Structure 1
């Protein structure tokens, strides 16, 4: 180590940055989101699907194989978010309307490629599941999905988390590649979101962890968008 080197981690900040001001990370996030929005708009939904066709085929094949080798078994994980200044009812009311606007749904995560309502009531999603780009459907909301969710270890008391939704994630051929259980309960300051995902047991651990991070990003952005709409 030379005389002018230290063992401390290297950090770079704005020398003139006052407390509470936007950081360089904030600047980068703004411009990254703007770039992603531009590419989405220029390519369009079908253009994105065409561009990602090979990635989707590879990702779906990997998840299908995980489902086959897991023989119906799933491993779960949960992301918990704490929100202040907004109630769960306000958020869910906004969210129900947001599902009619694909642009709002896509804006919540850079790896959202298409989220479209289908005539049969399912939702077609193309997004990353871990490192895999996958094309799948959300379906089985309500009583059908809650049949399996009722026995999940992650189910929270109804009195504290009265808002619950559960669904299966399945490929076009019907293969179930995952499940989701989301639960919301109000607190004195706002509400808590308990966001659980279940993937086939043979999926690598980083795939599950990646989707838990995905949850944190998209739901934070949806919650802040709901708050902004209310204001």
Structure 2
């Protein structure tokens, strides 16, 4: 009976994870990449992509009942269900349940890397890139210091002290563990999908500002208008040391148009999120990472703003 219950619970978890992935892909529109990347194409026949056919055949109208968009209500309920299951299982049990998927992801990454070119030019790399802005309402801009520096400060504080806030950034965060290094940089272990590949990886050393000891790769852009940047290499957690991605994130404040003397000149944050991979990385892996970055930061920005506004995070 106990075995049957465990099997039923695992099946319920799997159903919920699949359902959340479906909902997220369906309702999120990924911003257009900052750079056109001709290596990337979308294979609509790939099972990773879920076509938006929900309710295409039957129109459902709410004549009376709950307020709000039905898809938003469904998404909120799915998030609550998934959070409940994750909390009950805990990080170690989740890792155990996903061990076969993790091993398969590692094997696929080794195949990708071993067949790639060793060149260090931009032409031999592809980038999953997203550009987002987070702008508060004009009537509260002057009273809340929502800046690029304060956002990255919130991110570091959350990673060290309130990691549940980072977990909540994306339904498919199966593991997020940040720890400080002795030199003040951060170390991050992550279990999350890059498209169809569940990837258990580590960023051994990265920091919310450009670290002089960590040089940008030759194919990364300067982005001189973004004063806050961070870079880091993401390696597999299988002990091989294989690098699967080079991240380059850049942040800046957004100028306020028409500001008068005495008012703040900036309000809000703009970010460029780039994860560089070897050139033969499958398109669905690249697109999956692009979608993942867009979703998690779209959730983190409002949470960071609220914590700064309420004083839960003090810059």
Shift of the 84–42 alpha-carbon distance from structure 1 to 2, 3 Å rule, reads: same
Number of aligned positions between the proteins: 217
Secondary structure of 1:182 counterpart: strand
1:143 aligns with 2:209: no
Bigger shift: residues 51-60 or 195-204: 195-204
CA–CA separation in structure 1 for the residues paired with 2:61 and 2:307: 32
CA–CA separation in structure 2 for the residues paired with 1:177 and 1:92: 24
Aligned partners of 2:234 and 2:243 also within 8 Å: yes
CA–CA separation in structure 2 for the residues paired with 1:145 and 1:13: 55
**Which sections of structure 1, spanning at least 5 residues, go unmatched?**
1-8
Aligned partners of 1:13 and 1:24 also within 8 Å: no
1:112 aligns with 2:179: no
1:94-135 CA-to-partner distances (Å, cap 9, x unmatched) read: 111011122111111111111113575521111111111111
CA–CA separation in structure 2 for the residues paired with 1:146 and 1:16: 59
TM-score, L = length of structure 2: 0.64
TM-score, L = length of structure 1: 0.86
Structure-2 residue corresponding to 1:217: 295
* Cα offset, 1:186, TM superposition: 1.1
Where does 1:1-231 land on structure 2 (aligned, <5 Å)? 12-15=60-63, 22-72=68-118, 73-85=124-136, 86-100=146-160, 101-118=162-179, 121-141=186-206, 142-148=211-217, 151-157=218-224, 160-172=225-237, 173-188=240-255, 189-231=267-309
After TM superposition, where is structure 1 displaced by more than 6 Å over at least 4 residues in a row?
none
CA–CA separation in structure 2 for the residues paired with 1:52 and 1:66: 21
**Which sections of structure 2, spanning at least 5 residues, go unmatched?**
1-55, 119-123, 137-145, 256-266, 310-315
CA–CA separation in structure 2 for the residues paired with 1:115 and 1:145: 23
Aligned partners of 1:181 and 1:195 also within 8 Å: yes
CA–CA separation in structure 1 for the residues paired with 2:308 and 2:61: 33
Aligned partners of 1:77 and 1:196 also within 8 Å: yes
Shift of the 90–13 alpha-carbon distance from structure 1 to 2, 3 Å rule, reads: farther
CA–CA separation in structure 2 for the residues paired with 1:118 and 1:82: 28
CA RMSD between the two structures: 2.1
Aligned partners of 2:116 and 2:278 also within 8 Å: yes
Aligned partners of 2:159 and 2:179 also within 8 Å: no
CA–CA separation in structure 2 for the residues paired with 1:193 and 1:16: 41
